[in-house]
Amino acid sequence: MTKKETEADIAEQALLTARVLSEALPHMQRYDDEIVVVKYGGHAMGDETTARNFAKDIVLLEQTAINPVVVHGGGPQIAAMLAKLGIQSEFKDGLRVTDAATVEIVEMVLAGSINKQIVGYINEAGGRAVGLSGKDGNMVLARKVTRRVADPGSNIEKVVDLGFVGEPVKVDITVLEQILGRELIPVLAPVAAGEQGGTFNVNADTFAGAVAGALKAKRLLLLTDVPGVLDKSKKLIKELSLKDARKLIADGTISGGMIPKVETCIDALDKGVEGVVILDGKVQHAVLLELLTDLGAGTLIHR
Protein backbone atom coordinates (compact mmCIF):
# COMPACT_ATOMS: atom_id res chain seq x y z
CA MET A 1 0.00 0.00 0.00
CA THR A 2 1.39 3.39 -0.98
CA LYS A 3 1.56 6.40 1.32
CA LYS A 4 -1.16 8.11 -0.75
CA GLU A 5 -3.47 5.08 -0.36
CA THR A 6 -2.81 5.02 3.41
CA GLU A 7 -3.70 8.71 3.73
CA ALA A 8 -6.89 8.12 1.70
CA ASP A 9 -7.90 5.26 4.03
CA ILE A 10 -7.28 7.43 7.10
CA ALA A 11 -9.35 10.25 5.58
CA GLU A 12 -12.19 7.84 4.74
CA GLN A 13 -12.18 6.46 8.29
CA ALA A 14 -12.22 9.99 9.73
CA LEU A 15 -15.19 10.88 7.50
CA LEU A 16 -17.03 7.74 8.66
CA THR A 17 -16.40 8.69 12.29
CA ALA A 18 -17.74 12.21 11.65
CA ARG A 19 -20.88 10.76 10.03
CA VAL A 20 -21.47 8.47 13.02
CA LEU A 21 -21.14 11.38 15.44
CA SER A 22 -23.46 13.48 13.30
CA GLU A 23 -26.08 10.70 13.31
CA ALA A 24 -25.76 10.36 17.09
CA LEU A 25 -26.34 14.08 17.80
CA PRO A 26 -30.17 14.14 17.61
CA HIS A 27 -30.29 11.03 19.79
CA MET A 28 -28.00 12.67 22.35
CA GLN A 29 -30.32 15.67 22.37
CA ARG A 30 -33.36 13.40 22.86
CA TYR A 31 -31.81 11.82 25.95
CA ASP A 32 -30.12 14.98 27.27
CA ASP A 33 -30.34 14.95 31.09
CA GLU A 34 -32.73 11.97 30.96
CA ILE A 35 -32.45 8.81 33.07
CA VAL A 36 -31.73 5.48 31.40
CA VAL A 37 -31.83 2.33 33.55
CA VAL A 38 -29.79 -0.56 32.14
CA LYS A 39 -30.32 -4.08 33.47
CA TYR A 40 -27.08 -5.95 32.89
CA GLY A 41 -27.74 -9.71 33.12
CA GLY A 42 -25.48 -12.49 34.29
CA HIS A 43 -25.34 -14.11 30.81
CA ALA A 44 -24.99 -10.74 29.05
CA MET A 45 -21.91 -9.99 31.16
CA GLY A 46 -19.91 -12.49 29.13
CA ASP A 47 -16.13 -12.38 29.36
CA GLU A 48 -13.88 -9.63 30.69
CA THR A 49 -13.53 -7.91 27.30
CA THR A 50 -17.32 -7.73 26.92
CA ALA A 51 -17.67 -6.38 30.47
CA ARG A 52 -15.03 -3.70 29.88
CA ASN A 53 -16.67 -2.64 26.61
CA PHE A 54 -20.01 -2.37 28.43
CA ALA A 55 -18.35 -0.18 31.07
CA LYS A 56 -16.93 2.12 28.36
CA ASP A 57 -20.38 2.45 26.78
CA ILE A 58 -21.92 3.41 30.13
CA VAL A 59 -19.22 6.03 30.69
CA LEU A 60 -19.87 7.42 27.20
CA LEU A 61 -23.57 7.81 28.04
CA GLU A 62 -22.69 9.77 31.18
CA GLN A 63 -20.26 11.94 29.21
CA THR A 64 -23.05 12.84 26.75
CA ALA A 65 -25.25 14.20 29.60
CA ILE A 66 -27.37 11.04 29.92
CA ASN A 67 -27.89 9.72 33.48
CA PRO A 68 -27.31 5.94 33.40
CA VAL A 69 -28.32 3.67 36.27
CA VAL A 70 -26.95 0.12 36.07
CA VAL A 71 -28.80 -2.79 37.71
CA HIS A 72 -26.95 -6.09 37.46
CA GLY A 73 -27.83 -9.73 37.93
CA GLY A 74 -25.47 -12.60 38.51
CA GLY A 75 -27.25 -15.95 38.35
CA PRO A 76 -24.36 -17.91 36.77
CA GLN A 77 -21.86 -16.40 39.22
CA ILE A 78 -24.08 -17.29 42.20
CA ALA A 79 -24.49 -20.86 40.94
CA ALA A 80 -20.70 -21.15 40.53
CA MET A 81 -20.06 -19.90 44.08
CA LEU A 82 -22.69 -22.25 45.58
CA ALA A 83 -21.04 -25.16 43.76
CA LYS A 84 -17.60 -24.06 44.95
CA LEU A 85 -18.80 -23.97 48.56
CA GLY A 86 -20.63 -27.28 48.22
CA ILE A 87 -24.07 -25.79 48.91
CA GLN A 88 -26.79 -27.77 47.18
CA SER A 89 -29.67 -25.75 45.71
CA GLU A 90 -33.14 -26.98 46.60
CA PHE A 91 -35.84 -27.00 43.93
CA LYS A 92 -39.60 -27.23 44.43
CA ASP A 93 -41.69 -27.96 41.34
CA GLY A 94 -38.79 -26.78 39.18
CA LEU A 95 -38.33 -23.48 41.06
CA ARG A 96 -35.12 -22.67 42.94
CA VAL A 97 -35.55 -22.10 46.67
CA THR A 98 -33.37 -19.45 48.34
CA ASP A 99 -32.81 -20.66 51.90
CA ALA A 100 -30.92 -18.85 54.67
CA ALA A 101 -27.53 -20.26 53.62
CA THR A 102 -28.14 -19.44 49.96
CA VAL A 103 -29.31 -15.86 50.50
CA GLU A 104 -26.10 -15.17 52.42
CA ILE A 105 -24.08 -16.26 49.36
CA VAL A 106 -26.41 -14.34 47.03
CA GLU A 107 -25.78 -11.12 48.94
CA MET A 108 -22.03 -11.77 49.10
CA VAL A 109 -21.77 -12.34 45.35
CA LEU A 110 -24.24 -9.70 44.10
CA ALA A 111 -23.52 -6.83 46.50
CA GLY A 112 -19.88 -7.84 46.84
CA SER A 113 -17.74 -9.32 44.09
CA ILE A 114 -19.92 -8.68 41.02
CA ASN A 115 -20.97 -5.19 42.06
CA LYS A 116 -17.45 -4.05 42.82
CA GLN A 117 -16.09 -5.61 39.63
CA ILE A 118 -18.54 -3.59 37.51
CA VAL A 119 -17.77 -0.46 39.55
CA GLY A 120 -14.06 -1.08 38.95
CA TYR A 121 -14.47 -1.46 35.19
CA ILE A 122 -16.50 1.76 34.95
CA ASN A 123 -13.95 3.65 37.02
CA GLU A 124 -11.07 2.28 34.93
CA ALA A 125 -12.91 3.53 31.82
CA GLY A 126 -12.91 7.06 33.21
CA GLY A 127 -16.25 7.11 34.99
CA ARG A 128 -17.11 7.53 38.66
CA ALA A 129 -19.29 4.60 39.70
CA VAL A 130 -20.92 4.08 43.09
CA GLY A 131 -21.84 0.53 44.09
CA LEU A 132 -25.05 0.09 46.09
CA SER A 133 -27.74 -2.48 46.82
CA GLY A 134 -31.44 -2.08 47.46
CA LYS A 135 -30.65 -2.06 51.18
CA ASP A 136 -28.73 1.22 51.01
CA GLY A 137 -30.86 4.09 52.24
CA ASN A 138 -33.84 1.69 52.29
CA MET A 139 -33.87 2.19 48.52
CA VAL A 140 -35.93 -0.95 47.82
CA LEU A 141 -38.11 -2.76 50.34
CA ALA A 142 -39.32 -6.21 49.38
CA ARG A 143 -41.86 -8.77 50.49
CA LYS A 144 -41.68 -12.53 50.33
CA VAL A 145 -42.69 -14.09 47.00
CA THR A 146 -44.71 -17.25 46.72
CA ARG A 147 -45.57 -19.03 43.52
CA ARG A 148 -48.64 -21.04 42.61
CA VAL A 149 -48.09 -24.14 40.48
CA ALA A 150 -50.65 -26.58 39.14
CA ASP A 151 -50.27 -30.28 39.88
CA PRO A 152 -49.92 -32.04 36.48
CA GLY A 153 -52.22 -34.87 37.51
CA SER A 154 -55.06 -33.12 39.32
CA ASN A 155 -54.52 -29.58 37.94
CA ILE A 156 -55.04 -28.34 41.51
CA GLU A 157 -52.96 -25.28 42.33
CA LYS A 158 -50.66 -25.27 45.32
CA VAL A 159 -48.46 -22.57 46.88
CA VAL A 160 -44.69 -23.06 46.68
CA ASP A 161 -42.54 -21.39 49.34
CA LEU A 162 -39.37 -20.06 47.65
CA GLY A 163 -37.68 -18.95 50.87
CA PHE A 164 -35.88 -15.59 50.77
CA VAL A 165 -37.02 -14.59 47.29
CA GLY A 166 -38.67 -11.18 47.27
CA GLU A 167 -40.46 -8.68 45.08
CA PRO A 168 -40.30 -4.88 45.44
CA VAL A 169 -43.13 -3.20 47.34
CA LYS A 170 -41.58 0.24 47.84
CA VAL A 171 -38.80 2.21 46.14
CA ASP A 172 -37.28 5.27 47.81
CA ILE A 173 -35.20 7.24 45.27
CA THR A 174 -33.70 9.67 47.81
CA VAL A 175 -30.20 8.17 47.56
CA LEU A 176 -30.34 8.04 43.76
CA GLU A 177 -31.46 11.68 43.60
CA GLN A 178 -28.30 12.62 45.50
CA ILE A 179 -26.15 10.74 42.97
CA LEU A 180 -27.70 11.41 39.55
CA GLY A 181 -26.66 14.56 37.74
CA ARG A 182 -23.38 14.77 39.66
CA GLU A 183 -21.16 12.85 37.22
CA LEU A 184 -21.69 9.69 39.30
CA ILE A 185 -23.00 6.37 37.98
CA PRO A 186 -24.99 4.19 40.42
CA VAL A 187 -24.48 0.44 40.07
CA LEU A 188 -27.22 -1.46 41.92
CA ALA A 189 -27.29 -5.05 43.18
CA PRO A 190 -30.82 -6.53 43.38
CA VAL A 191 -30.72 -7.34 47.07
CA ALA A 192 -33.37 -5.73 49.29
CA ALA A 193 -34.41 -5.61 52.91
CA GLY A 194 -37.83 -6.78 54.03
CA GLU A 195 -40.32 -4.47 55.68
CA GLN A 196 -39.61 -6.33 58.92
CA GLY A 197 -35.86 -6.65 58.26
CA GLY A 198 -33.96 -9.57 56.79
CA THR A 199 -32.62 -9.96 53.26
CA PHE A 200 -34.38 -10.87 50.03
CA ASN A 201 -33.00 -11.90 46.66
CA VAL A 202 -34.97 -9.98 44.00
CA ASN A 203 -35.09 -10.89 40.32
CA ALA A 204 -32.86 -8.34 38.56
CA ASP A 205 -35.40 -7.59 35.80
CA THR A 206 -38.11 -6.93 38.39
CA PHE A 207 -35.74 -4.83 40.50
CA ALA A 208 -34.69 -2.75 37.47
CA GLY A 209 -38.32 -2.24 36.42
CA ALA A 210 -39.30 -1.03 39.88
CA VAL A 211 -36.36 1.40 40.07
CA ALA A 212 -36.97 2.68 36.52
CA GLY A 213 -40.64 3.25 37.33
CA ALA A 214 -39.85 5.17 40.51
CA LEU A 215 -37.34 7.33 38.60
CA LYS A 216 -39.78 7.85 35.67
CA ALA A 217 -36.90 6.83 33.40
CA LYS A 218 -36.84 7.73 29.72
CA ARG A 219 -35.73 4.19 28.90
CA LEU A 220 -35.32 0.85 30.61
CA LEU A 221 -32.96 -1.48 28.73
CA LEU A 222 -33.11 -5.18 29.59
CA LEU A 223 -29.90 -6.77 28.32
CA THR A 224 -30.36 -10.50 27.87
CA ASP A 225 -29.01 -13.31 25.68
CA VAL A 226 -31.61 -13.15 22.88
CA PRO A 227 -32.14 -10.47 20.19
CA GLY A 228 -35.51 -9.40 21.64
CA VAL A 229 -39.12 -10.49 21.20
CA LEU A 230 -39.53 -12.86 18.24
CA ASP A 231 -42.63 -13.53 16.15
CA LYS A 232 -43.88 -17.05 15.36
CA SER A 233 -41.44 -17.30 12.45
CA LYS A 234 -38.58 -16.40 14.85
CA LYS A 235 -38.01 -12.95 13.33
CA LEU A 236 -37.27 -9.97 15.56
CA ILE A 237 -40.20 -7.67 16.33
CA LYS A 238 -38.73 -4.17 16.35
CA GLU A 239 -41.57 -2.37 18.13
CA LEU A 240 -44.62 -3.26 20.21
CA SER A 241 -47.38 -1.28 21.88
CA LEU A 242 -48.67 -2.34 25.29
CA LYS A 243 -51.78 -3.71 23.61
CA ASP A 244 -49.71 -5.72 21.12
CA ALA A 245 -47.49 -7.11 23.88
CA ARG A 246 -50.48 -8.36 25.89
CA LYS A 247 -51.99 -9.87 22.75
CA LEU A 248 -48.79 -11.80 21.92
CA ILE A 249 -48.67 -13.24 25.44
CA ALA A 250 -52.32 -14.30 25.15
CA ASP A 251 -51.87 -16.05 21.79
CA GLY A 252 -48.67 -17.82 22.81
CA THR A 253 -46.25 -15.96 20.53
CA ILE A 254 -44.47 -14.71 23.64
CA SER A 255 -43.79 -17.78 25.77
CA GLY A 256 -41.46 -19.35 28.32
CA GLY A 257 -38.88 -17.11 29.95
CA MET A 258 -39.82 -14.17 27.73
CA ILE A 259 -43.22 -13.84 29.44
CA PRO A 260 -41.87 -12.52 32.79
CA LYS A 261 -39.53 -10.17 30.93
CA VAL A 262 -42.37 -8.65 28.90
CA GLU A 263 -44.56 -8.51 32.02
CA THR A 264 -41.76 -6.54 33.71
CA CYS A 265 -41.78 -4.17 30.71
CA ILE A 266 -45.55 -3.71 30.97
CA ASP A 267 -45.33 -3.03 34.71
CA ALA A 268 -42.52 -0.48 34.22
CA LEU A 269 -44.53 1.32 31.52
CA ASP A 270 -47.55 1.40 33.81
CA LYS A 271 -45.35 3.02 36.47
CA GLY A 272 -44.28 5.84 34.14
CA VAL A 273 -41.27 4.63 32.12
CA GLU A 274 -41.51 6.02 28.58
CA GLY A 275 -40.14 2.98 26.76
CA VAL A 276 -38.58 -0.41 27.51
CA VAL A 277 -36.21 -2.29 25.21
CA ILE A 278 -35.32 -5.99 25.34
CA LEU A 279 -32.01 -6.52 23.53
CA ASP A 280 -29.06 -8.87 23.23
CA GLY A 281 -26.34 -7.81 25.65
CA LYS A 282 -23.77 -10.00 23.92
CA VAL A 283 -23.87 -7.74 20.84
CA GLN A 284 -20.96 -5.32 20.99
CA HIS A 285 -22.08 -1.77 21.89
CA ALA A 286 -25.74 -2.88 22.05
CA VAL A 287 -26.60 -0.01 24.43
CA LEU A 288 -25.10 2.59 22.09
CA LEU A 289 -26.76 1.03 19.04
CA GLU A 290 -30.14 1.32 20.73
CA LEU A 291 -29.83 4.81 22.16
CA LEU A 292 -27.54 6.69 19.78
CA THR A 293 -28.22 5.34 16.28
CA ASP A 294 -31.13 5.30 13.84
CA LEU A 295 -30.82 1.50 13.57
CA GLY A 296 -31.64 0.70 17.17
CA ALA A 297 -31.40 -2.78 18.69
CA GLY A 298 -33.84 -5.27 20.13
CA THR A 299 -37.57 -4.79 20.73
CA LEU A 300 -38.99 -1.47 21.91
CA ILE A 301 -42.20 -1.71 23.96
CA HIS A 302 -43.96 1.60 24.54
CA ARG A 303 -47.17 3.06 25.88
pLDDT tens by residue, 161-194: 888 999 999 999 999 999 999 999 999 999 999 9
- Domain holding 104, by residue range, is 34-302
Which pLDDT score, from 0 to 100, does residue 177 have? Answer: 95
Find the mean pLDDT for residues 121-128.
96
Please give the residue that has the higher pLDDT: either 25 or 57.
Answer: 57
pLDDT surpasses 60 at 4: no
pLDDT surpasses 60 at 125: yes
Which pLDDT score, from 0 to 100, does residue 215 have? Answer: 97
Determine, yes or no, domain membership for 251: yes
Determine, yes or no, domain membership for 45: yes
Model pTM score: 0.88
Determine, yes or no, domain membership for 121: yes
Determine, yes or no, domain membership for 21: no
Which pLDDT score, from 0 to 100, does residue 42 have? Answer: 61
Which pLDDT score, from 0 to 100, does residue 159 have? Answer: 76
pLDDT surpasses 80 at 158: no
Determine, yes or no, domain membership for 7: no
**Rounded mean pLDDT of the chain?**
88
Q: How confident is the model at residue 46 (pLDDT cuts 50, 70, 90)?
A: low
Determine, yes or no, domain membership for 3: no
pLDDT surpasses 70 at 150: no
pLDDT surpasses 80 at 13: no
Q: What is the 3-state secondary structure (H, E, C) of the chain?
A: CCHHHHHHHHHHHHHHHHHHHHHHHHHHHHCCCCEEEEEECHHHHCCHHHHHHHHHHHHHHHHCCCEEEEEECCHHHHHHHHHHCCCCCEEECCEEEECHHHHHHHHHHHHHHHHHHHHHHHHHCCCCEEEEECCHHHCEEEEEEEEEEECCCCCCEEEEEEEEEEEEEEECCHHHHHHCCCCCEEEEECEEEECCCCEEEECHHHHHHHHHHHHCCCEEEEEECCCCCECCCCCECCEEEHHHHHHHHHCCCCCCCHHHHHHHHHHHHHCCCCEEEEEECCCCCHHHHHHHCCCCCCEEEEC
Which pLDDT score, from 0 to 100, does residue 153 have? Answer: 63
Which of 208-212, 233-237, 281-285, 288-292 has maximum average pLDDT?
Answer: 208-212
Determine, yes or no, domain membership for 106: yes
Determine, yes or no, domain membership for 25: no
Q: How confident is the model at residue 282 (pLDDT cuts 50, 70, 90)?
A: confident
Give the chain's domain count. Answer: 1
Domain CATH number, residue 119? 3.40.1160.10
Give the least confident one: 2-11, 65-74, 98-107, 243-252. Answer: 2-11
